[in-house]
Amino acid sequence: MLRIDDISYSIEGRPLFQGASALIPRGHKVGLVGRNGTGKTTLFRLITGELTLEGGEITVSRGARIGGVAQEARASRDSLLDTVLAADTERTSLLAEAETATDPQRIADIHARLHDISAYSAESRAAMILAGLGFDQAAQARPVADFSGGWRMRVALGGVLFAQPDILLLDEPTNYLDLEGNIWLETYLAKYPHTVLVISHDRALLNRSVKSILHLEAQKLTLWSGGYDQFDKMRRERLEQLQAAQKKQDTRRAHLQSYVDRFRYKASKAKQAQSRLKMIEKMTPIALARDAATVTFSFPSPEELSPPIIKLEDVSVGYDGVPVLSRLTLRIDQDDRIALLGANGQGKSTLSKLLAGKLAPLSGKMNTAAKLRVGYFAQHQVDELTLDETPIQHIRRLRPDETPARVRARLAAGGLGAAQAETEVGRLSGGQKSRLSLLIATIDAPHILILDEPTNHLDIQSREALVLALNDYRGAVILVSHDPHLVSLAADRLWLVRAGGVSVYDEDMDAYRKMLLSERGSGGALSGKSNEATGQRKKPKAPTRSRGRKSPLEAEVKNCETRVGKLEEMRKKLDLRLADAALYQPENSQKLKALQAKHAELKSALLRAEALWLEALETLDARKDACDEQ
Question: 318-363: per-residue pLDDT in tens?
Answer: 999 999 999 999 999 999 999 999 888 889 999 999 999 999 999 9
Helix H or strand E segment including 235: helix 228-263
| Domain assignment of residue 531, yes or no | no
Same domain assignment for residues 17 and 133: yes
Same domain, 548 and 418: no
Judged by DSSP in three states, 21 sits in strand
In a domain, 522, yes or no: no
Same domain, 494 and 556: no
440 plus 544 within the same structural domain: no
Q: Quick one: angle between helices 589-629 and 552-578, nearest 10?
A: 160
pLDDT digits (tens, 9 = 90+) for 25-41: 888 999 999 887 788 98
Asked if pLDDT for residue 286 goes beyond 70, the answer is no
Crossing angle of helices 122-132 and 149-163, in 10° steps, is 140
Average pLDDT over residues 207-221: 91
> Which of the listed ranges 46-55, 143-152, 243-252 does the model predict with the highest average pLDDT?
46-55
DSSP string, 538-582: --SS-TTS-TTPPPHHHHHHHHHHHHHHHHHHHHHHHHHHHT-GG
Residue 333 and residue 12: Cα distance in Å, rounded? Answer: 52
Question: CA 436 to CA 439: how far, in whole Å?
Answer: 5
- Is the confidence at residue 255, as pLDDT, over 70? yes
* Residue after which a domain boundary falls, among 483, 506, 529: 506
What is the extent of the structural domain holding 583? 539-629
Would you say 22 and 4 are in contact if contact means Cβ atoms under 8 Å apart? yes
| Within-domain flag for 523 | no
Strand (E) positions, 157-286?
167-171, 195-199, 212-217, 220-225
Neighbouring C-beta atoms of residue 572, cutoff 10 Å: 13
Domain co-membership, 222 together with 326: no
The answer to whether residues 608 and 479 belong to one domain is: no
Number of domains the chain is built from:
3
Residue 26's alpha-carbon distances to 49, 212, 213, 374, 385, in angstroms, are 19, 13, 15, 51, 44
CA angle, residues 172, 3, 64, in degrees to nearest 5: 75
Distance in angstroms between the alpha carbons of the first and the last residue of the chain: 57
- In the listed set 208, 231, 254, which residue is the last one of a domain according to the structure? 231
Question: Is the pLDDT at 109 greater than 90, yes or no?
Answer: no
What value does the CA radius of gyration of the chain take, rounded to a whole number of Å?
30
Q: Does 342 reside within a domain? A: yes
- Which of these, 614, 519, 527, 533, lies nearest to 181 by C-alpha position? 519
Residues belonging to the chain? 630
Give the Cβ contact number of residue 614 at 10 Å: 18
Domain-ending residue, one of 456, 490, 506: 506
Average pLDDT, the chain: 82
What phi, psi does 240 have (nearest 5°)?
-65, -40
Note the pLDDT of residue 288.
Answer: 55
User: Among 500, 617, 619, 499, which Cα is nearest to 558's?
Assistant: 617
Residue 629: what pLDDT?
53
**Banded model confidence at residue 621, pLDDT cuts 50, 70, 90:** low
Residue 60 resides in a domain:
yes
471 and 423 inside one domain: yes
Region 499-526: mean pLDDT is 76
Both 148 and 87 in one domain: the answer is yes
Q: Within this chain, do residues 440 and 561 fall inside the same structural domain, yes or no?
A: no
Q: Give the orientation angle of helix 104-116 with respect to helix 552-578, to 10 degrees.
A: 150
Whether 619 is covered by a domain: the verdict is yes
569 and 502 in a single domain? The answer is no
SS3 588: helix
CATH number of the domain to which 407 belongs? 3.40.50.300
For the cut 90, the answer to whether the pLDDT of residue 571 exceeds it is: no
- Does some domain include residue 137? yes
Which of 447-451, 452-456, 587-591 tops mean pLDDT?
A: 447-451
Same domain, 178 and 48: yes
Q: Is residue 380 part of a domain?
A: yes
Tell me the percentage of the chain whose pLDDT exceeds 70. Answer: 88
Task: Tell me the per-residue pLDDT of 580-615, one tens digit each, with 9 for 90 and over.
Answer: 767 777 777 777 777 777 777 777 777 777 777 776
Query: Quick one: 177 and 79 in the same domain?
Result: yes
